[in-house]
Structure 1
Amino acid sequence: MNIKSPSVLYCAAICNMYKMCSYYSYNDDDKLCLIHSNLEEDTIQYGLQWRIYEPVITDCPVHWDLFEDNCYFFSPHERSWHDSKVYCVEQQSMLVEVKSSTQKNFLKGKAIEHLSSYWIGATDLETEGVWKWNTSQTGLTVTDWSPNQPDNYLGNQDCVQIMKSEGYTWDDNLCEALRAFICEKPIFS
């Protein structure tokens, strides 16, 4: 079976969905995934661009959602931004960092499904107005700010939430405010 695949991890997830998959190969140049059912019967693709992999478990823990190469936990409980960050670390994860439009849309869709506002991992605690992802310390390349946000209302809003009352767009808020939160970790952690 020949499938277009954005990553080797996505290819691994596809392999795990099919009982007949005994191994898979991935071509990173062409973004192709080949699912193989039997080593003796299949024609193996050779070349520098092809790599062969054995199936691995790509399931997320209970109550976590799989999207692309990561698992996401949408907390039903509210905590401060700092306590949310600590909880995620205790789960070998981090507050979510939004790196693509498809990921942003997935998160927004799940937030709408759960009808909650959520903390995400962005903050300007270090330097006012310079928004970074807390764990990777990288700047925000994908955003979804509500109109006129961030506004640093009353001078002390330093943490980012997906805000239910603003159409599930982003808003800066007091880090001490209680919100649900989203943790993120790679499939293979």
Structure 2
Amino acid sequence: MTCLSTFEDCYSFFYQNATKTCTPGLALSFSAQPPSPSEGTLYLANVCDQSQEFVNVRLSAGTTICVYVSGTTGGYNIAKKICQEKGSHLYGVQTLAKYQLFRDIVTMYPGLYLLGLTDLAKEGTWRWDVDGTVVTKEIWDILWLKGEPSRGRNQDCAVAYKPDTKNRFNDVQCSMRTYINFICEKYPTLGSWDNKRSMVL
């Protein structure tokens, strides 16, 4: 869609039926009266599903993700299932920007966090759940606590420690669930704001 590519860094844009053109909209301004269907459609880019308790997070210009921070604990299989039920996946820190965001989240909500990173498929080869890619050297060097991953018995999942260890990771058993929270992530959708003031996704 031309409008989306033109205004990809905007929160919204308005498509006018008469002129078949787009103009930038306000940043998620729902208080104003929406346009009538005959006038056009107000599209809201970067929309997170608040009914599933996701929040909008801007990683950088043009890059937005939706993040859910669990209020409950669970092992890998439980956490993965909950994320999937929410149409998402366990959070991964494939880039430095996502690693920094993770550190910010843990600073706000201190605790132990399970990530979408395992070596379940092949011992010693750590892959991200979201796309199956192997951890890059750049991320590997900042990811693990000294001496980790230790490759202990059945320690195939990654858990990040509290801020006092700079959010570095440790390998643990995937069934471990005590005190371990998790984060789900997904990409936002493009929705339209109809004349009943409700989101159409």
Please say whether Structure 1 and Structure 2 have the same fold, judged by a TM-score greater than 0.5: yes
Equivalence for 1:70: 65
> Which residue of 4, 19, 22 corresponds with 2:14?
22
- Counterpart of 1:65, as a letter, is V
1:22 touches 1:37 (CA, 8 Å); kept in 2? yes
- Counterpart of 1:124, as a letter, is D
Equivalence for 2:188: 187
Matched, 1:161 2:159: yes
> Which residue of 123, 128, 142 corresponds with 1:133?
128
Task: Decide which moves more: 172-181 or 134-143.
Answer: 134-143
> Which residue of 109, 112, 130 corresponds with 2:107?
112
- Structure 1: where are the runs of 5+ without partners? 1-7, 24-34, 39-53
Equivalence for 1:32: none
TM-score (norm 2): 0.66
Where do residues 29-48 of structure 1 align in structure 2 (5 Å cutoff)?
36-37=23-24
2:150 touches 2:171 (CA, 8 Å); kept in 1? yes
Matched, 1:89 2:89: no
Where do residues 142-181 of structure 1 align in structure 2 (5 Å cutoff)?
142-143=139-140, 144-153=143-152, 155-164=153-162, 166-178=165-177, 179-181=180-182
Higher relative contact order (CA 8 A, sep 6+): 2
- d(CA) in 2 for partners of 1:78 and 1:15? 33
- d(CA) in 1 for partners of 2:122 and 2:99? 24
Residue 13 (structure 1) shift: 5.4
The alignment covers a number of residue pairs equal to 151
- Counterpart of 2:172, as a letter, is N
Residue 65 (structure 1) shift: 2.6
Residue 97 (structure 1) shift: 2.1
TM-score (norm 1): 0.70
- d(CA) in 2 for partners of 1:118 and 1:84? 11
Identity %: 23
- d(CA) in 1 for partners of 2:11 and 2:172? 42
Matched, 1:122 2:117: yes
Q: Deviations over 1:24-66 (max 9, x none)?
A: xxxxxxxxxxx9359xxxxxxxxxxxxxxx7334222233232
SS at match of 1:56: strand
- d(CA) in 1 for partners of 2:125 and 2:85? 27
Equivalence for 1:48: none
